[in-house]
Structure 1
Amino acid sequence: MTRTVLITGATSGFGAASVRRFTNAGWRVIATGRRADRLQMLVDELGADKVHAAHFDIRDEAAMDAALAEVPEAFRDIDLLINNAGLALGTAPAQSASLDDWRTMIDTNVTSLVTLTHRLLPALIARKGAIINISSIAGSYPYPGGNTYGGTKAFVTQFSLGLRSDLHGTGVRVTSIEPGMAETEFTLVRTHGDQQASDKLYTGAQPMTAEDIADTLYWVATLPPHLNINRLELMPVTQSFAGFQVARK
């Protein structure tokens, strides 16, 4: 039986790598994102029988509903939701951060995630499906400049645990994946396109790759249905926990 996964934020990074990983394993994929050209590239690469491109901004609830209503019949039986769409914006401390950036992170990482999840819960329950939410180590370990981004990811982790509790007895599995440093477009987005800052962060650090995370998502998704991974934290070997800060006079 061919299974179907809906992956948000599929135009780059973890999302695009996951589209490839799942389709190559025989799944159908609904790939969502804001950049229609990149979604079309995935369709062209992998085939329209395997990938359906759903072009919309995850923050636009009406557009989300319209896109879901237009999903072709062959892709309608969704077995897995991967809530991958998310972003960090800015590295400034809270007292000088952009409120607009904060609101964008909350709208994308929290509000949109819960909205889509709520929309798909009846179908996922009916199919005894699964939900994988992409959180971050930033939701567990604070760092300067992490402020709202870390707060949104802490929400994703706790929301996942709450879903797991609420869905007890339905057969639906829920997992929070919490990656550390991975080299994608993440830092480019966070720094509003500063390639030098991105290169500086990742050079020599041997970060994880988008493919590493895609392989992990596929592993979680294909475990026997009686097993649930509640939380999974991943870091590259070169990254570990920071020490406490001390301000001295």
Structure 2
Amino acid sequence: MTTEETPARTAEPTPAEHRGAPVAVVTGAGSGIGAATARGLAAEGFHTVLAARRTDRITELAAELTAAGHRATAYPLDITDRAAVDAFAAGLDRCDVLVNNAGGALGADPVATGDPADWRWMYEVNVLGTLNVTQALLPALTASGDGTVVVLTSTAAHSAYEGGGGYVAAKHAERVIAETLRLEIVGTPVRVVEIAPGMVKTDEFATTRFRGDTEKAARVYQGVASPLTADDVAATVVWAITRPSHVNIDLLVVRPRAQASNTKVHREG
């Protein structure tokens, strides 16, 4: 998800579009892990609803999936806008899976000098955005009789690292949403899954974090022979979703082999 303005909304998905296929909503579907997850779920027979701010990205992806014989709907959405999220939820007659993927990091300053505006943006997107969409779609997920909520956190949700204070704090909070929700809805037909990726090299994450500084972004992965890809993480998400209904993958941490922890990474050369 980027900080650019939300574009005009395209036609809302209608009940007729969804009838007959399980529906998976993927936030942050315009690029990276979100787009790869949408492709994976479409291949599994889901009607994928692509929710993200950038209309051009999700429209192109929806066209790609449709051309391949899958069902997909693009829906421009700012998950920090609760009224927009509620309107989005009201336009769906069905939701079987929700993948809370939208999020992001800004800055790498220490706690002592970090910009509160960056922290606020990260909290709004990662925490309140996940809360908004989950609350809005939980009734439909429950009504499906076999719902799944996936929360894409990060290894930052489980341990701190220098220069990551704001992102670490936001991801810890997002992790707690998943843990608490699982406790609160036990006994209902909804699973809550947390996937926590480590070092993933995508086109945008590090570049966004460093405000377009591609040299700084490249240094994050310097010397790491094989960081995770968006497809690696998406395959993990799809695997968790497609387990038998009685199987809940509470937490799955996935890192590249070169990364032993958030602070210990093998770099060649």
> Which stretch of structure 1 is more off in the superposition, 198-207 or 165-174?
198-207
Cα deviation for residue 51 of structure 1 reads 1.1
1:33 counterpart residue number = 52
* 2:79 pairs with 1:58: yes
Q: Residues 243 and 117 (structure 1 numbering): CA distance in 2 closer, same or farther, change over 3 Å?
A: closer
TM-score, with structure 1 as normaliser: 0.92
> Which stretch of structure 1 is more off in the superposition, 194-203 or 149-158?
194-203
Q: Residue type matched to 2:183 in 1?
A: S
Q: Residue type matched to 2:23 in 1?
A: T
Secondary structure of 1:213's aligned partner: helix
Residues 36-78 of structure 1: CA deviation (Å, up to 9, x unaligned) = 100111112111861111102111122222333344xxxx311
Q: Residue type matched to 2:48 in 1?
A: V
Cα deviation for residue 242 of structure 1 reads 5.7
Cα deviation for residue 27 of structure 1 reads 1.1
* 2:244 pairs with 1:224: yes
2:153 counterpart residue number = 135
* 2:215 pairs with 1:167: no
Q: Find the aligned partners of 2:66 and 2:212 in 1 and give their Cα distance.
A: 31
Contact 1:138 1:149 (8 Å CA) reproduced: yes
Secondary structure of 2:112's aligned partner: helix
Q: Find the aligned partners of 2:52 and 2:189 in 1 and give their Cα distance.
A: 29
TM alignment of 1:146-161, pairs within 5 A: 146-161=164-179
TM-score, with structure 2 as normaliser: 0.85
* 2:142 pairs with 1:125: yes
Contact 1:55 1:67 (8 Å CA) reproduced: no
TM alignment of 1:1-249, pairs within 5 A: 2-47=21-66, 50-71=71-92, 76-127=93-144, 128-184=146-202, 185-205=204-224, 206-241=226-261
Contact 1:136 1:179 (8 Å CA) reproduced: yes
Cα deviation for residue 123 of structure 1 reads 1.0
Q: Find the aligned partners of 1:83 and 1:242 in 2 and give their Cα distance.
A: 22
Contact 1:156 1:176 (8 Å CA) reproduced: no
Q: Residues 107 and 242 (structure 1 numbering): CA distance in 2 closer, same or farther, change over 3 Å?
A: closer
Q: Find the aligned partners of 1:243 and 1:78 in 2 and give their Cα distance.
A: 38
Cα deviation for residue 243 of structure 1 reads 6.5
Q: Residue type matched to 2:82 in 1?
A: E
Q: Residues 36 and 238 (structure 1 numbering): CA distance in 2 closer, same or farther, change over 3 Å?
A: same
Q: Residues 237 and 170 (structure 1 numbering): CA distance in 2 closer, same or farther, change over 3 Å?
A: same
Secondary structure of 1:204's aligned partner: coil
Residues 221-246 of structure 1: CA deviation (Å, up to 9, x unaligned) = 000011111111111000112679xx
Contact 2:153 2:174 (8 Å CA) reproduced: yes
1:247 counterpart residue number = none
Q: Find the aligned partners of 2:263 and 2:197 in 1 and give their Cα distance.
A: 19
Contact 1:133 1:176 (8 Å CA) reproduced: yes
Contact 1:80 1:131 (8 Å CA) reproduced: yes
Structure 1 residue runs of 5 or longer lacking an equivalent are 245-249
